[in-house]
Amino acid sequence: MSDRKNIYNSIKMKMEKIGFQFETEQKPHLQNRKENELKFVHPKLIKRLEEDGIKVRAKKFYVKPLSNEPDCEIGFVTGKSSPLYKSNKFTKPNSTDTFDSTPAWTNIENNNTIDSLLKSIENYLKTSSDVVENHINTFLFAWNPNRWDWVDLQESIEHLEKVGYVERKWSCGNSKSIRKGDRVFLIRLGNEPRGIMGSGYAKSSYYVAPHWDGTENKMTNYIDIEFDILINPKENKLFDKESLESIDKNNLQQWFPQQSGISIKEEVLESLESNWFNFIKENKYIKNSFVSNDVTTQLKKTYKEGKSKDIVQTRYERNPEARKRCLKHFGYSCKVCSYDFEQHFGEIGKGFIHVHHINQISEIGKEYEVDPIKDLIPVCPNCHAMIHSKRPAFTIEEIKEIIR
């Protein structure tokens, strides 16, 4: 029995090494088996699968005896609907749990299938992460006012001008390849004026929801878009057909598609980005100081913030690109009290956190270069309020000490 205990511990250590989190040791559910099973979760794996557009129902993983026999195989199993069974990215099972005929992975007779599965999961996480991080595709989305009246367009533009971005759910047609972080351009179709009227980034991979036209039982694909530029075609000039033809002299791209979500060809991307940037700059569509001078590569390490604007009161602009890079580095849990909104609230808490400026913009009183890693830090609203409960504000370490 001690040898079997060592097998469980060995598998547990290998699983934890690639991100599985041990939850508990328990009796197998509804099974008359003498040995306990080990239960695990892997939030990063589930998140990565969902970012790839894979719906995941089975979110628990088990190392358990595969039959009632005292010397039975020890296997790795999860829910039957798990993509670990279906996707070619992962090593196929080599055994079965006799309780309910669930496929299982085992290390038997020098066939280290569990080890192979764990290696395939590790490779998937690394490869998929590299894709999200480094390979950003660009897609063209469409709005046709003859089919759908965007009644709150001006309200969306005003929101963007106040905080630097605005989020919208948008149909992506038949496209299922869009990933969180991909670049997005929005073009206006229908009657003139026609042309590109917005840009931004995908905030999600595709998901399915009721169709925007309200037809009962009709579904369509959507993504969430974070727009960084939106132009009102009733009031301002668009990046029109003539401008598009100037960057695509060989007519490589379909610029006025019938549906959203088509890819923009790499041959025209650099020219599109540079000309789009010049266009919005020359027409003074950049209301804030957060737009980098290198839109194409997005490699700028510091960002200008703090440029004051005279409205009813002096407001200091925040830089959403700097916020994005801060959260990419630190994650979404509070760096004072470790509170994580997604862990406590599920999907509605995903991506929610405040970002604290270690050097208060309002006290600097001028535009300055922000390093997203050195100057910004994620904190929950409670800790953020306590940090600013006096002037000058408490430091992060002072608030941590108060909590201790």
Same domain, 230 and 325: no
Q: CA angle, corner 270, sides to 269 and 276, nearest 5?
A: 85
What is the per-residue pLDDT for 320? Answer: 57
Q: Answer whether residue 349 is part of any domain.
A: yes
Look at 67-71, 128-132, 154-158 and tell me which has the smallest mean pLDDT. Answer: 128-132
For 150, the domain range is 137-287
Same domain, 28 and 105: yes
CB 35 within 8 A of CB 4: yes
Q: CA angle, corner 31, sides to 26 and 33, nearest 5?
A: 70
Q: What is the pLDDT of residues 206-232, one digit of tens each?
A: 888 888 777 888 888 889 998 989 999
What is the per-residue pLDDT for 187? Answer: 96
Name the more confident of 367 and 195: 195
Question: Strands, E, within 270-327: which ranges?
Answer: 303-305, 308-310, 314-316
Q: Are strands 138-143 and 183-188 parallel, antiparallel or unpaired?
A: parallel
| Most distant CA pair in the chain, distance | 78
Once rounded to an integer, what is the mean pLDDT over residues 346-361?
76
Look at 21-30, 57-66, 187-196, 206-215 and tell me which has the smallest mean pLDDT. Answer: 206-215
Q: Answer whether residue 391 is part of any domain.
A: yes
CB 240 within 8 A of CB 275: no
DSSP string, 373-389: TTTEEEE-HHHHHHHTS
Q: With 90 as the cut, is the pLDDT of residue 74 above it?
A: yes
Q: What is the pLDDT of residues 11-26, one digit of tens each?
A: 999 999 999 999 999 9
Same domain, 346 and 387: yes
Which of 236, 261, 287 represents a domain boundary (last residue)? 287
Rounded CA separation 199/222 (Å): 17
Rounded CA separation 345/334 (Å): 15
Once rounded to an integer, what is the mean pLDDT over residues 49-59?
83
Once rounded to an integer, what is the mean pLDDT over residues 104-114?
86
Rounded CA separation 28/37 (Å): 6
Name the more confident of 216 and 138: 138
Q: For residue 389, count other CB atoms closer than 10 A to its CB.
A: 10
Name the more confident of 388 and 396: 396
Rounded CA separation 389/384 (Å): 9
Q: Answer whether residue 315 is part of any domain.
A: yes
The helix or strand, by DSSP H or E, that contains position 24, with its residue range, turns out to be: strand 21-26
Look at 69-78, 131-140, 160-169, 190-199 and tell me which has the smallest mean pLDDT. Answer: 131-140
Q: With 70 as the cut, is the pLDDT of residue 28 above it?
A: yes
What is the per-residue pLDDT for 321? Answer: 63
Name the more confident of 8 and 357: 8
Same domain, 302 and 404: yes
What is the per-residue pLDDT for 180? Answer: 80
In the numeric block, which tokens belong to residue 111?
């066939």
Residue at token pair 């002299």:
249
Which of 253, 268, 287 represents a domain boundary (last residue)? 287
Once rounded to an integer, what is the mean pLDDT over residues 274-289?
76
Rounded CA separation 46/79 (Å): 13
Q: With 90 as the cut, is the pLDDT of residue 244 above it?
A: yes
In the numeric block, which tokens belong to residue 141?
């989305």
What is the per-residue pLDDT for 344? Answer: 83
What is the per-residue pLDDT for 215? Answer: 80
Q: With 90 as the cut, is the pLDDT of residue 38 above it?
A: yes
Instruction: Please count the structural domains in the chain.
Output: 3
What is the per-residue pLDDT for 140? Answer: 95
pTM summary value: 0.45
Residue ranges in 283-319 assigned as alpha helix (H): none
* Mean pLDDT value across the chain: 81
Residue 50's pLDDT band, with cuts at 50, 70 and 90, is confident
Q: Answer whether residue 293 is part of any domain.
A: no
Same domain, 153 and 49: no
Once rounded to an integer, what is the mean pLDDT over residues 64-82?
92
Once rounded to an integer, what is the mean pLDDT over residues 329-345?
88
Same domain, 243 and 350: no
Which of 82, 110, 132 represents a domain boundary (last residue)? 132
Once rounded to an integer, what is the mean pLDDT over residues 251-276?
89
Same domain, 118 and 198: no
Q: CA angle, corner 308, sides to 302 and 311, nearest 5?
A: 145
Same domain, 126 and 145: no
Rounded CA separation 113/127 (Å): 21
Residue 278's pLDDT band, with cuts at 50, 70 and 90, is confident
Q: Answer whether residue 89 is part of any domain.
A: yes
3-class DSSP assignment, residue 168: strand
What is the per-residue pLDDT for 361? Answer: 42
CB 67 within 8 A of CB 37: no
Same domain, 151 and 102: no
Residue 130's pLDDT band, with cuts at 50, 70 and 90, is very low
**C-alpha distances in angstroms, 3 versus 10, 32, 33, 71, 114?**
11, 21, 18, 11, 18
Q: What is the pLDDT of residues 283-336, one digit of tens each?
A: 887 654 333 333 333 333 444 444 433 323 222 334 556 777 788 888 889 999
Same domain, 60 and 143: no
Once rounded to an integer, what is the mean pLDDT over residues 77-82?
93
Same domain, 329 and 402: yes
What is the per-residue pLDDT for 106? Answer: 95
Same domain, 32 and 11: yes
Q: Answer whether residue 292 is part of any domain.
A: no
DSSP string, 183-239: EEEEEE-SSSS-EEEEEEEESS--EEEE-TT--TT-EEEEEEEEEEEE--TTTS--E
In the numeric block, which tokens belong to residue 139?
């897609």
Rounded CA separation 102/96 (Å): 6
**CATH number, domain at 180?**
3.10.590
